[in-house]
Structure 1
Amino acid sequence: MTDAKTSDIQHVEDMSREFSKMEKPVMGTARLLTEGEIVLIPRPSTDPCDPLNLPLWHKWTILVIVTLFSVGGVLLASSVGVIMQTLEAYYDYNPRVSDLSLYPTLFMGIGNVVAIPLAHAFGRRPFFLLSCLLMVATCAWAAWSPTLEQHIAARDVMSLAAGQSEALCPIIIQEIFFLHEHARSLTWFSGLQSIGVGVLMIASAYLTDSLGWRWWYIVFGIVNLVVLVLAFLFVVETKYPRSISVLAGDIDPSELLDPAISIPEKITKSTRLPLDYTNYSRRSFVHDLRPWQGHNNWRLAIEAWKQIAVVFWFPNVFWLMLCSGAFLGIYVLCTTVFAGILMPPPYSFSATSLGYVMGSQTFVGVIAIPILGYGNDLVVKYLSRRNGGIIEPEYRLLSGIIPFLSLIIATVMFGKAGSHPDQYSWAGIAVSMNVIFFAYVGMVVTSFTYVISSYPTRSDSLLVVLCACRGFISFGISFGVNSFVKEKGFEGAMNICAIIVGILAALGIPVYVFGKSIRRMTQRYAMD
């Protein structure tokens, strides 16, 4: 007996020494595979009201509804350029007409900075419904605006609501899907958004040409009203309290209170626990209809604003913010100048033909979903399997290689075609611009999935930094586009842009190699 007891003590001491040698867990590093199955991260609770426990049809219904909202928001706030020729003629070529497209990007960023921390404190549903309602109201305001000044004001307020398509919608999506589904779900969101905006930009050119620009707002105001009704019925509250251990897929200490209940260390589809209707209330359709589900903590909003200021300086996040701003800035530059290249001879495009050029974004959506969504998830699973089932968020960055290469090549081609229209086909402009848009969508998906995986406790603040800052950068670029292109020429300006992207791509190498060290260094600032 003594020998057995001594052996047990020795075994415990050996285990303790081994444990002390183990590397402390780093936020974002988690076990994705166990016994050949995918671990469900975050760890779902047994609460029927947990949004992770929603049936699959309901999750995809929510994704489609928030995508419809984002289509309307992006189209109305950011794609007014497709009808700009009509608006300039209506307002007698008043130079202030450019404000209709200039200021929305600024106000979309402001909308993110203000609304997301409040949604963190009071819940997602009330602010999403408020944004839908504001879109309907401002569409009516813009449609019946008597002056250019009121038209500009209506679009600025509209953009505060439309900005929620950039951060709040992805937040809602990532809260109802598991970690291994994030890339595909966010790419479906971005892909369907691209397809919807592309088709509607083509329709917009014909709509305004036939009925006038006011009907553009009326028609899409009705569409937004339908989205509001659908959101009221189906977009439930997705904010749900989770501990750090649960966000990593581990057991919550509260689950161990009853030793008689066997709790699996990791939850997979086959080991998922049944819903507990004894200790939790059933999900009620009538209860879900309440616009506000009871979240009420002003302190969380204040904390969120503080967190935004902190995560902004994380080296990996700061790099992705610069990348997102550069990708969007180059796309904004191209959409600002492409009409001036294609409408004069030798191309002589009509205003409606420009709608087809912008509408080609539909193909971007079709291509992006399988490559950037499912492809990203497959690569992550493969690398995690080779790493003993452990996922590292840096695996998500590998999908950024395609956007970087695409952007550099397309940017150079756009510059050459713009400077030498006599030597290049119109496709040098049209195709290059849509490849640039593809690269931008790819960077959005890459940056979102990486930061959410790296710092799951700070997803709200991180998306605000990425979305708001790229909007501010885009706004700044809009002021200097014409003088920049005039001074350097299309080829010179785009070559400079390509060089900047190349430098950012090179900076991504140390971010990937030392990513875990960066997360270890910064995680204490991301702990609740």
Structure 2
Amino acid sequence: MSSAAPDSTTLWPPGTVILQDTTASTKDSLILQPRPTDDPNDPLNWSQWRKYLNMGLVCIYVALVAEFINASSPTWGPMNEELGYSYEILNDSYAAGCACLALGSLLLIPFALKYGRRPLYLFSTVLQFALSIWSAKMRTVADLMLINVLQCLFGSLAETIVQMTIADLFFVHQRGRMNAVYVWVWLLATYMGSLLAGFIAKGQGWRWVWWWNVIIFGVAVFIVAFGYEETKYSPPAAATLIQPPTTEDIHGSSPPVYPASDSTNLDTLHKASSRELKETASKHGVAEDPESATIAEKRSPERTTIFTLNPNIPKKTYWQRLSLTTTTSSINGANESFLCHMYQPLILLVTIPAITFAALVYGILVGLGDVMSTTMSTFLPQAPYNFSSDQIGLMSLPRIIGVTIGALIVGPLSDWWIVYLSRRRNGVYDPEMRLWCIIPFLPFVPAGALLFGIGLNNHLDWPIIAVGLALYNIGVTPINSIIITYLTDSYKDIIGDSLVGVTVVRNCFSTGFIFALTPWIGAIGVKWVLVTILLIACAILVLFGVFIRYGKAFRWRTASRYQYYARRQYKERPLS
């Protein structure tokens, strides 16, 4: 879109919003998107500490699930010796888990949409606790397979429900950082789990890897049960959307109309100063009470958004906020709404280009990373490396360094960049703006994968392999974070279904690669396996240029389809 003010005949696609009031006296006059209600119980209106506390608890859950899924790699050697599991069986058990990571979201996310996020987080944590006990007592191949199947089936929630929580709690200009934190926590726990598991397996025996999980998950059950609040918003009848000034007030023209979904109307929330708030509160006889009558997004004095809340809506008590379920009906009251969320993600996956693109990018990068993990666990214990379980665990350190560097850069960069670009375009924000941030990180993916693959294949010194792991993760972490945020910003009203589709593809890549890995390596060698997957990855990654150029047109052309599926969602926010 050009920088000219939009006219009344323009139709804006989903995801395009007014993000800044360029006529305001301060340059940081951000307009909050999406629009909150005047309900003090609306998660968008929660205080910062409450939002970050909930996000912190979600990160704990994500870390524990990621660790559980990946901590088994350093135990493969001792399990092979004690229980006689072949490496092919161990590979197959990991692949079976990946398949269930794909299936789990299809089966479980409809429950999160219908009954809330809290019951799913809590039930999954309790189940992981029970499965940790089973893992510690494992004896047979059937135990190994069933544990992987059940753990990944319910652990799949950590790959989808978190973005739903982020969309519940945070505004558009904050999601880049939050998704970067999520990707960082997931990958950090994945690699840290392997690191710690290696030392535990050597020092205390491989079964103690799982006994420590029993202890930690046992504590986590109580933390989630008594600390995590529901972020799914079920509005009372008295709640209404905060009424902002129109885009006519901002741009001097009538606001464009987008008919696809009521929650994507492009009304905007103006950034009011403290002086304006006091005048408004005095005029309407409402006290300026920061705890009950107003809400503030406190970042800095010049970037504080304050608006009046409805004093007639009581705040929920602590125990009300911890209710087990938050049930809502569908917008159109259709009886098939619950079941449709089990197949709807697959329809969206193949009919909306942005979802397809996000799924392919996320899938190929995670799949390649899983192949690197599996080959490392298989080849490093053998000659010429002869690594012990703790040494294999130490190979997680370069990966930890890589994901941390990538996350520290991309979170602030992504959010700063969209604010900067929207300011240059009369305050208009398009989700494709974030995709430009992929460019600096693209070279790290092939450089890291090639260094790792060639080093392992040619038996080069282990520091070369370690550098390859670090470089790969410096590239992967930001790209995955940006892709997830792009999808969330583009299609918030169907984000649950969209992420399920992404997760299905992501885990199909991992499942297919790992099931085929042993014969594939036997046929052409580990180097060429990694090169082949890397070529597929590069072919997919170059499509980001297509979406920078045509992504908005794709969103425009699929607007009616988006409208249709948005109306089939459960009503979680009052319509404008």
Bin of the TM-score, shorter chain as denominator length = 0.7 to 0.9
More helix by share: 1
Could you tell me how far apart the structure 2 residues matched to 1:418 and 1:322 are? 26
Q: How big is the shift at 1:48?
A: 1.3
1:281 aligns with 2:314: yes
Which residue does 1:6 correspond to in 2? none
Q: How big is the shift at 1:203?
A: 1.7
Counterpart code for 1:123: G
Structure 1 unmatched runs, 5+: 1-17, 253-259
SS at match of 2:229: coil
Moved more, 338-347 or 114-123: 338-347
Could you tell me how far apart the structure 1 residues matched to 2:215 and 2:71 are? 18
Which residue does 2:514 correspond to in 1? 478
Q: Within 5 Å, which residues of 2 pair with 1:337-486?
A: 337-421=375-459, 424-486=460-522
Which residue does 1:38 correspond to in 2? 30
Q: 2:358 touches 2:483 (CA, 8 Å); kept in 1?
A: yes
Write out per-residue CA displacement over residues 314-345 of structure 1, whole angstroms, 9 at most, x where no aligned residue.
Answer: 12221221121211121122111124443444
1:88 aligns with 2:80: yes
How many residues get paired?
Answer: 496
Which TM-score applies when normalising by structure 2?
Answer: 0.80
Q: 2:168 touches 2:232 (CA, 8 Å); kept in 1?
A: yes
Write out per-residue CA displacement over residues 225-268 of structure 1, whole angstroms, 9 at most, x where no aligned residue.
Answer: 2222111122111112589455566269xxxxxxx979xxxx98
Could you tell me how far apart the structure 1 residues matched to 2:467 and 2:144 are? 33
Which residue does 1:23 correspond to in 2? 10
Gap change, CA 1:152 and 1:493, over 3 Å in 2: closer
Counterpart code for 1:73: V
Could you tell me how far apart the structure 1 residues matched to 2:123 and 2:390 are? 34
Q: 2:104 touches 2:154 (CA, 8 Å); kept in 1?
A: yes
Q: How big is the shift at 1:476?
A: 0.9
Could you tell me how far apart the structure 2 residues matched to 1:294 and 1:323 are? 34
1:56 aligns with 2:92: no
SS at match of 2:33: coil
Counterpart code for 2:513: I
SS at match of 2:36: coil
SS at match of 2:546: helix
Q: 2:67 touches 2:192 (CA, 8 Å); kept in 1?
A: no
Could you tell me how far apart the structure 2 residues matched to 1:452 and 1:309 are? 17
Percent identity, please: 21
Q: How big is the shift at 1:274?
A: 2.3
Question: 1:163 pairs with 146, 156, 174, which one?
Answer: 156
Counterpart code for 1:332: D
SS at match of 2:307: coil
Q: 1:103 touches 1:475 (CA, 8 Å); kept in 2?
A: yes
Q: 1:245 touches 1:251 (CA, 8 Å); kept in 2?
A: no
Could you tell me how far apart the structure 2 residues matched to 1:426 and 1:103 are? 30
1:526 aligns with 2:526: no
Could you tell me how far apart the structure 1 residues matched to 2:135 and 2:389 are? 22
Q: How big is the shift at 1:275?
A: 2.3
Could you tell me how far apart the structure 1 residues matched to 2:263 and 2:30 are? 15
Could you tell me how far apart the structure 1 residues matched to 2:453 and 2:123 are? 42
Gap change, CA 1:438 and 1:174, over 3 Å in 2: farther
Write out per-residue CA displacement over residues 27-59 of structure 1, whole angstroms, 9 at most, x where no aligned residue.
Answer: 110011112311111111111111112221121
Could you tell me how far apart the structure 2 residues matched to 1:449 and 1:401 are? 16
Moved more, 434-443 or 184-193: 434-443
Gap change, CA 1:54 and 1:454, over 3 Å in 2: same
Q: How big is the shift at 1:25?
A: 1.7
Q: Within 5 Å, which residues of 2 pair with 1:172-191?
A: 172-191=165-184
Gap change, CA 1:235 and 1:404, over 3 Å in 2: same
Gap change, CA 1:403 and 1:113, over 3 Å in 2: farther
Which TM-score applies when normalising by structure 1?
Answer: 0.87
1:516 aligns with 2:552: yes
1:121 aligns with 2:157: no
Q: 2:33 touches 2:268 (CA, 8 Å); kept in 1?
A: no
Q: How big is the shift at 1:142?
A: 2.2
Could you tell me how far apart the structure 2 residues matched to 1:523 and 1:310 are? 15
1:301 aligns with 2:338: yes
Could you tell me how far apart the structure 2 residues matched to 1:155 and 1:344 are? 25
- Over the aligned positions, Cα root-mean-square deviation in angstroms equals 2.5
Could you tell me how far apart the structure 2 residues matched to 1:466 and 1:439 are? 19
Gap change, CA 1:295 and 1:221, over 3 Å in 2: farther
Which residue does 1:250 correspond to in 2? 267
Which residue does 2:288 correspond to in 1? none
Q: How big is the shift at 1:381?
A: 1.3
Gap change, CA 1:398 and 1:79, over 3 Å in 2: farther
Gap change, CA 1:251 and 1:397, over 3 Å in 2: closer
Structure 2 unmatched runs, 5+: 1-5, 236-240, 242-260, 270-282, 286-295, 298-302, 568-576
Q: How big is the shift at 1:181?
A: 0.5
Question: 1:74 pairs with 66, 88, 102, which one?
Answer: 66
Q: 2:402 touches 2:472 (CA, 8 Å); kept in 1?
A: no
Moved more, 235-244 or 464-473: 235-244
SS at match of 2:442: helix
